[in-house]
Amino acid sequence: MTQPLLCYQNVCKSYQQRQILNDVNLEIEPGMVVGLLGKNGAGKTTLLRSALGLLTPEQGNVYVFGEKSDQLSAQSKARIGYVAQQTFGYEGFKIADALALHRSFYPDWDCELENKWLKRFDLDPSAAINNLSIGQRQTLALIMAMAYRPQLLILDEPVASLDPIARREFMGDLFDLALDSDSGILFSSHITSDIERVASHIALIKDGELLIMDELDLIRDTVRKISFSDSGIDLSAYNVLNLQKNSAIIYGYTGDTIPGAIATNTLSLEQLFVELHG
């Protein structure tokens, strides 16, 4: 059995008397690309920051490469790539200088990959970082996080500010990286089409609780919206994600006929997201 790259065990975290994470259990193994989906304030960023030891959970544990996330060794840290929601840290630098300094901390830095991405995303190494657009800064942050081929990549809405072409290309690279290096990737995003394009797994978080964590294909196959007129319908055989007066979102549908159901509809990831938060 392979050791998970990242493991959340019963993680709870609150902030100013508000529960941000509630009993979260999640494992990322090599080769997994996990798309973390949730509304603003659902707890995505807190979940990601807990993996880096930036935040310590009040209950439960987070392990990265088998070590507790708030006591990571330097070797383990060097195997993690991270892009924060707000790219910050190399103000005053030119791109080339920032990359030179950042590169110097990583013996395994892939210069070819760096140059390839600089060219692909049209970043001029002589440009000052202060003058870059938000999207360009995000691209640079991604290069810095990925060019040493980390084994665990944690990305907090990494492509939110990129244009559709750059987003598509970057997402393709992300997937290739996971395949080539046998890395594990956990990334949050609001853009469901991006998640559907590259993620092997989906983690859906709502109000700090992990509602679903499974393979994307399995979610597509087993999540259904059930419409009914009788509120006494028996859905106990399924995992009910959301129950309304005349409809419910169920998880674990096996294709059987559900007595009392008027309609059983499949849902795209976006529809699922909207229905769950509706």
278 lines the binding site for another protein (CB under 8 A): no
94 lines the binding site for another protein (CB under 8 A): yes
Are the C-beta atoms of residues 203 and 34 closer than 8 Å to each other? yes
Which range, of 1-9, 73-81, 218-226, 259-267, touches another protein by CB under 8 A? 73-81
111 lines the binding site for another protein (CB under 8 A): yes
- Rank residues 93 and 175 by Cβ distance to another protein and give the closer one: 93
User: What is the separation, in whole angstroms, between the first and last Cα of the chain?
Assistant: 40
162 lines the binding site for another protein (CB under 8 A): no
Neighbours of 161 (CB within 10 A): 16
Q: How many residues bind another protein (CB under 8 A)?
A: 37
Tokens, residue 114: 């760096």
The least CB distance from residue 122 to another protein, in Å, is: 22
The least CB distance from residue 98 to another protein, in Å, is: 7
Please identify which residue in 41, 89, 164, 172 interacts with another protein, judged by CB under 8 A: 89
Which range, of 3-11, 28-36, 83-91, 199-207, touches another protein by CB under 8 A? 83-91
| Alpha carbon distances (Å) from 28 to 6, 183, 188, 222, 255 | 5, 10, 14, 22, 29
Window 28-57: contact mask with another protein (x via CB under 8 A): ---------------------x--xxx---
13 lines the binding site for another protein (CB under 8 A): no
- Residue 225, C-beta contacts closer than 8 angstroms, at least 6 positions apart: 247, 248, 249, 263, 264, 265, 266, 267, 271, 275
109 lines the binding site for another protein (CB under 8 A): yes
What's the rounded Cα separation, in Å, for the pair 162 and 27?
Answer: 28
187 lines the binding site for another protein (CB under 8 A): no
Which range, of 85-93, 115-123, 131-139, 181-189, touches another protein by CB under 8 A? 85-93
80 lines the binding site for another protein (CB under 8 A): yes
Shortest CA distance to 87 belongs to which of 18, 159, 174, 6? 159
What's the rounded Cα separation, in Å, for the pair 213 and 36?
Answer: 9
Window 114-153: contact mask with another protein (x via CB under 8 A): ------------------------------xx--------
Residue the block writes with tokens 């849902």: 267
Are the C-beta atoms of residues 90 and 136 closer than 8 Å to each other? no
77 lines the binding site for another protein (CB under 8 A): yes
Axis crossing angle, helix 134-146 with helix 164-181, rounded to the nearest 10: 10
Please identify which residue in 58, 88, 164, 182 interacts with another protein, judged by CB under 8 A: 88
- Rank residues 102 and 224 by Cβ distance to another protein and give the closer one: 102
Please identify which residue in 1, 91, 255, 256 interacts with another protein, judged by CB under 8 A: 91
Q: Kindly tell me the burial class for residue 183, based on how many C-beta atoms sit within 10 Å of its own C-beta (0-12, 13-18, 19 or more).
A: buried
Tokens, residue 252: 């674990």
State the residues that interact with another protein by CB under 8 A: 49, 52-54, 74, 77-78, 80-84, 86, 88-94, 97-98, 100-112, 144-145
